[in-house]
Structure formats: C-alpha cells, structure tokens
Chain A
Amino acid sequence: MKIREYSVRDIPRRKFLELSMKGGLLIAATPALLTQLVSCQKGSVGLSGPGIDKDLAARVIAKALEKGGDFADIYLENRVSRQIVMEESKFKSGLYGISQGAGVRVVSGNKTGYAYTDEITEEKLMRAADVASYVALNSTPVSPVNISETTRPSFVTVSQPLGDIADEKRIEVIKRADQAVKDYDPRIKMAMIDYYDEVRSRIIANSEGIYIKDELPLLFFIVQAMSDDGKTRHMARERLSNHSGFEMFEKVTPETIARNAAREAIEMLKAEDAPAGIMDVVMQNGWGGVLVHEAVGHPLEADNISKGIGAFTGKIGQKVASDCFTMIDDGTLPNFRGTINFDDEGTEARRNVLIENGILKGFMTDILSSKQLNMTRTGNGRRESFRYIPIPRMTNTFIEKGKDNPADILSSTKKGIYVQSLSGGSVNPVTGVFNFTCRESYLIENGKKTNPIKGATLIGSCMDVISNIDAVGDDLEFGPGICGKGQSAEVTAGQPTVRIRGINVGGSKA
C-alpha cells in the first residue's frame, strides 16, 4: 500500500487508475486498463427512486447496533447523470446513468464497519447492517434515540431545473462551444467537449436521531482545444462547474469557455523550454489555489491528524505560515461546485477558518475524527457515493484576499515564473511534499511577463510554501476541480494573485 497520494486535477477527461490496493482490485475485476479509460464519470443516480422512511431507517440502525458500537448511520443515494462528449465536431457518446444504493456504517471505538447494497429493500438493508456490525462484536450496545426529520439551510438555488431541460438544449450548448473553438484560429485542429450533469438525492439517518434529505444538481462543462502549427502541439483546457440549474450557461456562455481554451492553445504554441532550479513564482488568481488545496488543505484534513501522522499534528495555535496568509474552507458559498448544504453524514456545512494570519486555527473533521480529536464537527465528512465511507474532505478552499495590488506583485518580481494555470498536482499528506504541473506559465523578466514556457513541475513542501508566501493580492477568484483521495469529490480551489519565494521548478533548460 502506498501512502495514498492525494491529488487534484482541473477536471481531466480521463482518470488514471492508480495501482494502489484498491486499484489492483479494480483491475482484477475489470479487465484491461491501467492506462486511460474513456471518461467515465463515476456518476450514477436515479430519479425519485425508492426511498426509506423514518421507521425503516430506525429498524436498520437498531440492527446495525445490535452487536454493540457507538454510532451507526444509513446513507441512501440516488443519482441520475447525463454525459455527452463531442470530439472532432462529432458526438462521440451520449451517456445516461441511474445509480442508487445505500450504505450502512457502524462505528465502534476507532473501528468502522461498512457494507452497502444497490437493492433498497428491507432485507438487503438489514443484511448490510448485520455485515457492518461485525466490527462491534464484543462491545457494549447502545440504544439508538428516536429518529426525527431534520432540516438544514440550502445554499443552492435553481431556476432552470436539470430535469426540465430537453437533451436538445444540452446538445446546443456543446455545438456552440465547438464552433467558437474552431472559429478562434486556423491553428486550432480539434475541440473536445465534455458535458456532464447529475442530480444526486440523499437521505441520511443516524443513531443520534437525524433523518435528513435533499437533492443537489451539478453541472460541469469542459472544453479542450488542441492547437498544432506543424511543429508543436498543445492541448488546452477550460472548465465551468456549479451546483446549479441550466441557467449556469446564461451567466457564463459556452463561447466564453471555448475562447478561453482556444486562447491558451494558441498562446502556448510559442512556449519555450522552461528553466530548471529554484526561483520565485507568481500565481495568478483563481484555480492556482489548488496549490494550497494540495499542499496545505489535505494535511489539514483531520483523519491523518487523528492518526498522529499528519504534517500539522500538534500545531494548533502555532505560527505555521507568513502573516499575510489566511486560508478558509467554506461549504456554503452560493452554488459553488464544492458547496454541499450538509455533508454526507448530515452535518451542516460552514465556513471554517483553517489558518488565520499565519496561525493554525483548526482542522477539517468528519464525525469520527472529531470524536477522536475532541474537536467540533466542521461539516467535511464527504463520500463519492454510497459505495464509500465518509472521510474528511475539502469543499471550497481558498486563500483569503489580501491587500496587495496584483500588478505590483508582478512588477516587484525581478525574475521568476508567472503561473497562469496549473493542471493539477498531488501531495503526500504525511510529509507534506507536493508537486504541481503548470499548464500555462510565463517567464518573469524585470517585473514583466514575457515568453510562455512549456509545462514544468513545481515541487516543494507545504510548510515551506506557506512560510514563503510574501504577497497576497486583493483579487480572489475560484476554479472548479476534482479532488482524489481514494474516492473523488467535487471541489473548488481559489486564491488571489500571490507570490511564493523560492520554489523548485522542473524545467528542461539549465
């Protein structure tokens, strides 16, 4: 087993199967692979499929705690998804998926038992409860409290529900983006467009008495543009994603997304080899926040802290970053891709200040780690689907805006790299060592952005990077991504323009 490297990407179309323990099994179970798979959104989902009522939930929870244990919950999910892919101006596929199922969890001390079923019947749920309760053998049983309906505020508004949108409208959006990419420049040879939407319904009930449900729509739209001038090639990417209805495309048009991708594709044809060695890096506002998502966010998730191995273990209240650095995780930002209303354990989403002016303030917890660390629940217990146990995950994570003028940050940097966008990266949560791949970046010479450079890797350690941030702009912006931690989660990462002194850049030119 490798220490699972936590990774985040700006929504790639293809996911690599990591040959981790789970990966090995997945490969055993599905032939081939290892390299790329055609984009498979793990999505599934089902309309208003069978639910479970409070009484059935109570019976399942009672069964789950029959052998003992401290806590039990049931998570029922129904997901309806649509994915349409266009490549080379042709529809490559239209994909419709329904998936539903329920998982039963039993927590006994530090132990977690979990079983799930894709058949929502009392018999199957009771069997899942029985299997999950294995870990609680020989412990003292607790009696569950009565279950009652619970409500939470919603941070997701919808004016054009996805269920009401005809497939023709989805197709029109894709065609518009394709046309806009092709119209941009003759050196654009191909557009690849991925449209995905889903409606995920959840019911969560637990032995503390909650019974809560909601429905979250999610849209995402990825445009890739490939340029080729006969000498070199670049695949550019731009994305848009929100928990929203179809009105998302009125606020930001498909053409805007398409032209941004095309612009990058053409611009990067001029890229020269990147320099190698340690240098100053200015990161443009927006998705660059993924660097702190990886480098600082993952190490602040409480599971590795409660195991006593995380990079920030025992550092609450200590100075861990420079004074100008404040970092926040907020699951309540209206309609953002990382917004959740309540997490997949039923805990209300909130704004959590993680690091304030350089001082470590808190970790992101789920129910289990909050109990183990005796900390409050922060609403970060998330899961990819009913096939997974909830673990601490980020939502919308960002560096809070500072006081510096972005133009001044650039002009006061004599020499270095200006990173306009990153592909993604990963971190080892124990050592805090991270790496990132630049997708669009430029040389900085005498305080000015000059030539674009080919995708270089940035590496460093989380403690160094947050101590070496010496300028934070006032231009906070966000970008959508997929975060992987054994299971995937939809997130946003954000930041204002920042400067980091002394990062190791992996170029091919000395």
Chain B
Amino acid sequence: MSTGINMKNTDLTEKLVDRCISLGADAAEVFLETKRNLSINVLKSEIETIEQASYQGVGFRVFIEGKMGFSHCNDFSSKSLDDTISKAIAFARLSTPDENNVLTDDKGITTIKDLYDPAITEEPMDKKIKMALDLEKLAMKDPRITKSAGAGYGEGESVIYIGNSNGLIKSYKSSGCSMGVSVVAEKGEQKNTGGEYCSRVFFSDLVPLEEIAAVASRKAIELLDPVMINTQKAAVIFDPDVAMALLRGVISAINGERVLQGASFLKEYLGRQIASPLLTLTDDGTIQKCLGSAPFDGEGVPTVKNVLVENGFLKSFIYNTKAAKRAGVKSTGNAARAGFSSLPGIGTHNVCVSTGKHTRDEIIAATKKGLFLLELTGYGIDSVSGNFSGGASGFWIENGELVHPVKGITIAGKAFEILNAIDMVGNDLDMNKINTAPTFRIAEMQIGGK
C-alpha cells in the first residue's frame, strides 16, 4: 500500500460520505487513514525485535435528527463498509438528540511546510539497525553504566483523509522518526536508570547519536548516592523534561467541554489572572517541521496558533466543533483523534511555555534552598480539583549550588498557588520538542521526605 495521498482514497472517502447519506444519515463524516510503521529494538548489541506493518481503517460519524452514531472498521470490502455504516446509523437512532451535533463547513487548509519526509522510507533497514546498535554502544561507554535496557529506532507515516456532507474533503500526509536508548547505572545495591530519545519529522534532523547517548548516560549516573532530606517547604525548579508532567492538568482544565460540564478547576477563570505574569502558554498546530502540527484538526477545521495563558491571564479555552457550538464560540481547531477508531475529542497540538530571561545557572544560583526537579511521577495537577501531588527526584540546592542528589521524595500543592508562585523563567527552550517549556522556578512548595 502506498502512503502517498492517492486519488483512489480521496474518491473512496467522498463516495463513503455519499453512501452514509444514501443509507439513511442526514449528515455524515468519514475519516480514513492509511499508515505504515517500523520499529527496531536492540539489546546487548543484538537485534531484539523488528516490527513492521502497513494498515488502514475508516471511521464513520453519522447524524440523524441531531443524534449521533459512530462506527469503524479496517476491512474495505463493500459489504463490510456497508455493514459498518449501517451499525453507526442504527446506533444514532438510539441516541439522544443534541443541537450541537454539527459538522464543520470550513474548507480552509493551513499551509504548513515539511510535515512529510520521503527520505525516511528510502533509508535502508541496515542503516537504521546500525544506528540503534551504535546508539546503545555509545550510551554504555561510561564505565559507571553497567547495563543496557535497550535502544531503538522507530518510524511511521500516515495519510489522513477527511470528508463530510458539507462538501468538505481534505487530506494530508505526515511522517515521523525517532531514536532512543535507556541504560542502567549500578553502584553497590543502588540502581538507577536513564533514558533519552529524539523524535523528528525529518530523518536528517535526528540529533547525533553521541548527544542522545550522553544524555541517557548522564541521567542514569547523576542520581547515584542520593541523600534523604527532611519534610519541609522550599523552592522547586522544574527541568524542561518535567514541566509538562505538571502542566498536563492545566491543559486538561482548559478543555472547553470539561469547562462547560463544570469539571475544570478553571471553569470560572476566563479572562482572569490564574498564574504569575511570567507565565505565557500557547498551543500552535502550525509550526513547520513539528510532530504536533497539522494543516487541519481531527474534524477538518484549519489549525491556528492559540494563546491560552498570556502574562498570567487565562485567554482561551480549547474547542472542537461541538463544544464550540455549545459555548457559542468558534472551534479553535483542537478536535483530536486517536486514529480512525476514535471520535474527535479535544486536545492540543504543540504546547509551549514562553521563555523568560534567565539562564538555567542563574536560576540555580538565585536559589538559597530548594529542589532542582529532574523526575516527576504521578498524574500532575488534577484538572477537576486543581490538587497536585507527585513523586520526585533531582538535586538538592543550598546557597545557590547543587549539593547532592535526592530521591524518593514527594512534592505537593494546589494549582493556583503553584502557578502564581512561578518567580523565575529560563531562556532555554527547545522548540524541537512537541510540548515544550523552559526551566522555571516555583518559589515554594511542600516537599515530603523523612
């Protein structure tokens, strides 16, 4: 199966929209997807697994008198397609009507360059295997690294076709590739793991293996010989790697549908200050060569750049077409789909915290006592209640210097207190990451230790 945009699938998508209507739907949307992927894992200088496949699938969203039904299948025989459409229609009949069940008629497409790299497919398999093997070897170079937990290379490409009964028909193709490695450092009874990966739209943009390997190795080693600290309140500096683990809950809380349902701690805060003036948060689906970008969202609405939080003020919630209609606003282009088998929900593209003016070293130097947070476990801020609690490890800071690693501690707080306590933001933003933030400091949080 070719994964170039092909007229056959464009035609099929349009025909299937018509088929939904002729089988009894008032309105219909067809989401068709073809995919190819490859994953190579190596362990101890040997291939562990090679997995590859091409596949396709189609999802039908149909409406009858404002009632919605959905079905999907991966068998493209006409009998199977007809059966599947009929199931969606039957389901719709049993459902409850909702005046907000509408489809977009926005025929626009945002032009975004470089979402697909033909070179990924052309690079030979042997080269990809060798890259994974070399990456593992490089990450094991330091004698303190005692074991490998594996290295890998992965790639994927897909073409998405969306058509609906408002006459909309759109498609685009995208690709991605990634490399990663994970290693173990042991010292006596201690064990610590460190991993790093790099994922890009273009094969030639993957960072040198040496860099990925060095980060994985450093992460495994740097937290050896931790010292336990006392339970106390202190500053917490978030490394860019863990910023999103905290902010995920904020992003969930700006989901327009949850806001309408009252299930968000931000439901009454549109236009109000929710965070320190140092916090600006955007979601941008239009960034060139970025894995989270797309010319249109999961319903076909063109993507845009949305400012969510500006200098601490909550500027916008995010919506798909249905939630937007209910809220009386326009879709923000945030219909998210996990592929052909899922309904459009609401999600972000590339979330980015704007940079501040400090270097990472300045932030550390300005901290009298606190935690430089490198790992955070748990679910982040709870999007309904705004409570936050997580497991933590990193470095302990005293008088502006990293004094020792610390593991097995907890940090906790409440969303508004945490967000308003951001008092320093770094200038170290990596725009190649899909959700990205610079280093930032929370003036004070509760830390749980001995």
Contact B248 A32 (CB under 8 A): no
Contact B263 A190 (CB under 8 A): yes
B68 sits at the interface (CB 8 A): yes
Task: State whether A94 and B69 are in contact (beta carbons under 8 Å apart), knowing that A1-B152, A459-B377, A507-B389 are contacts in the complex.
Answer: yes
One digit per residue, 1 when the CB lies within 8 angstroms of any chain A CB and 0 when it does not, for chain B 369-412 equals: 00000000111001011011111000000000000000111111
Contact B75 A100 (CB under 8 A): yes
Contact B389 A455 (CB under 8 A): yes
From residue A151, how far is it (CB to closest CB) to chain B in Å? 28
Contact B411 A506 (CB under 8 A): yes
Contact B450 A91 (CB under 8 A): no
- Determine the chain B residues whose CB is within 8 A of the CB of A42 once the complex forms: 341
B280 sits at the interface (CB 8 A): no
* B window 58-84: CB within 8 A of A: 67-75, 80, 83-84
One digit per residue, 1 when the CB lies within 8 angstroms of any chain A CB and 0 when it does not, for chain B 158-184 equals: 101000000000000011111111101
A101 sits at the interface (CB 8 A): yes
Contact B154 A509 (CB under 8 A): no
B365 sits at the interface (CB 8 A): no
Q: Give the CA-CA distance A316 to B98 in the complex, in Å.
A: 59
In-complex Cβ contact of B343 among A29, A95, A117, A167 (8 A):
A95
Contact A430 B184 (CB under 8 A): yes
Contact B337 A30 (CB under 8 A): yes
A196 sits at the interface (CB 8 A): no
B192 sits at the interface (CB 8 A): yes
A461 sits at the interface (CB 8 A): yes
Q: Give the CA-CA distance A39 to B263 in the complex, in Å.
A: 16
Task: State whether A37 and B48 are in contact (beta carbons under 8 Å apart), knowing that A46-B75, A88-B261, A118-B55 are contacts in the complex.
Answer: no
B240 sits at the interface (CB 8 A): no
- Determine the chain B residues whose CB is within 8 A of the CB of A44 once the complex forms: 72-74, 341
- Of A198-206, A303-311, A406-414, A466-474, the one contacting chain B is A303-311
Main DSSP-derived SS at the B contact region = strand
* A window 1-59: CB within 8 A of B: 1-3, 5, 14, 16-17, 19-22, 24-40, 42-44, 46, 49
Residue in B closest to A40 when the chains form the complex, CB atoms: B342
In-complex Cβ contact of B377 among A91, A171, A457, A461 (8 A):
A457
- Of A61-69, A107-115, A241-249, A357-365, the one contacting chain B is A107-115
A233 sits at the interface (CB 8 A): yes
B336 sits at the interface (CB 8 A): yes
B7 sits at the interface (CB 8 A): no
B421 sits at the interface (CB 8 A): no
Contact B233 A510 (CB under 8 A): yes
Contact B94 A167 (CB under 8 A): yes
Contact B336 A506 (CB under 8 A): no
Q: Give the CA-CA distance A505 to B347 in the complex, in Å.
A: 32
Q: Give the CA-CA distance A174 to B155 in the complex, in Å.
A: 41
In-complex Cβ contact of A504 among B73, B95, B342, B410 (8 A):
B410
Task: State whether A1 and B150 are in contact (beta carbons under 8 Å apart), knowing that A167-B91, A504-B408 are contacts in the complex.
Answer: yes
Contact A27 B297 (CB under 8 A): no
Q: Tell me the number of A-to-B contacts counted with CB atoms below 8 Å.
A: 389
From residue A129, how far is it (CB to closest CB) to chain B in Å? 13
In-complex Cβ contact of B196 among A1, A17, A435 (8 A):
A1
* A window 492-510: CB within 8 A of B: 504-510
Q: Give the CA-CA distance A373 to B109 in the complex, in Å.
A: 55
One digit per residue, 1 when the CB lies within 8 angstroms of any chain A CB and 0 when it does not, for chain B 311-350 equals: 0000000000000000000000011111101111111110
- Determine the chain A residues whose CB is within 8 A of the CB of B178 once the complex forms: 21, 24-25
In-complex Cβ contact of A507 among B33, B80, B147, B412 (8 A):
B412
Q: Give the CA-CA distance A131 to B343 in the complex, in Å.
A: 33
Q: Give the CA-CA distance A24 to B153 in the complex, in Å.
A: 11
Residue in A closest to B379 when the chains form the complex, CB atoms: A437
From residue B288, how far is it (CB to closest CB) to chain A in Å? 14
Q: Give the CA-CA distance A510 to B233 in the complex, in Å.
A: 8
Task: State whether A21 and B154 are in contact (beta carbons under 8 Å apart), knowing that A32-B348, A34-B347, A435-B391 are contacts in the complex.
Answer: yes
Main DSSP-derived SS at the A contact region = mixed
Task: State whether A37 and B50 are in contact (beta carbons under 8 Å apart), knowing that A25-B176, A30-B338 are contacts in the complex.
Answer: no
Contact B292 A31 (CB under 8 A): yes
A144 sits at the interface (CB 8 A): no
Q: Give the CA-CA distance A232 to B414 in the complex, in Å.
A: 12
Residue in A closest to B61 when the chains form the complex, CB atoms: A93
Contact A167 B410 (CB under 8 A): no
Contact A117 B446 (CB under 8 A): no
In-complex Cβ contact of A33 among B51, B296, B338, B379 (8 A):
B338
- Determine the chain B residues whose CB is within 8 A of the CB of A28 once the complex forms: 156-158, 174-177, 199, 201, 291
One digit per residue, 1 when the CB lies within 8 angstroms of any chain A CB and 0 when it does not, for chain B 409-446 equals: 11111100000000000000000001100000000001
- Determine the chain B residues whose CB is within 8 A of the CB of A232 once the complex forms: 385
- Determine the chain B residues whose CB is within 8 A of the CB of A233 once the complex forms: 262-263, 265, 384-385
Q: Give the CA-CA distance A235 to B387 in the complex, in Å.
A: 12
In-complex Cβ contact of A101 among B74, B87, B196 (8 A):
B74
* A window 384-398: CB within 8 A of B: 387, 389
- Determine the chain A residues whose CB is within 8 A of the CB of B33 once the complex forms: 30
Contact A504 B176 (CB under 8 A): no
Q: Give the CA-CA distance A115 to B36 in the complex, in Å.
A: 11
B221 sits at the interface (CB 8 A): no
From residue A424, how far is it (CB to closest CB) to chain B in Å? 8
Task: State whether A454 and B387 are in contact (beta carbons under 8 Å apart), knowing that A34-B347, A100-B75 are contacts in the complex.
Answer: yes
* A window 412-437: CB within 8 A of B: 423, 425-426, 428, 430-431, 433, 435, 437
Residue in B closest to A306 when the chains form the complex, CB atoms: B43
From residue B117, how far is it (CB to closest CB) to chain A in Å? 10
Q: List 8 A-B contacts (CB under 8 A).
A: A3-B182, A24-B176, A29-B158, A36-B336, A44-B73, A277-B450, A307-B150, A508-B413
Would you list the 9 A-B pairs with minimal beta carbon distance, nearest first? A28-B176, A1-B180, A506-B410, A38-B345, A31-B294, A94-B91, A40-B342, A276-B448, A24-B199
Binding site for B on A (CB under 8 A): 1-3, 5, 14, 16-17, 19-22, 24-40, 42-44, 46, 49, 84, 87-88, 90-91, 93-101, 109-119, 128, 131, 134-135, 167-168, 171, 189-190, 226, 228, 232-235, 274, 276-278, 304, 307-309, 311, 387, 389, 423, 425-426, 428, 430-431, 433, 435, 437, 454-457, 459-461, 504-510
A sample of 7 more A-B contacts (CB under 8 A), given A423-B379, A506-B378, is A29-B156, A31-B336, A91-B94, A276-B412, A456-B410, A460-B408, A508-B388
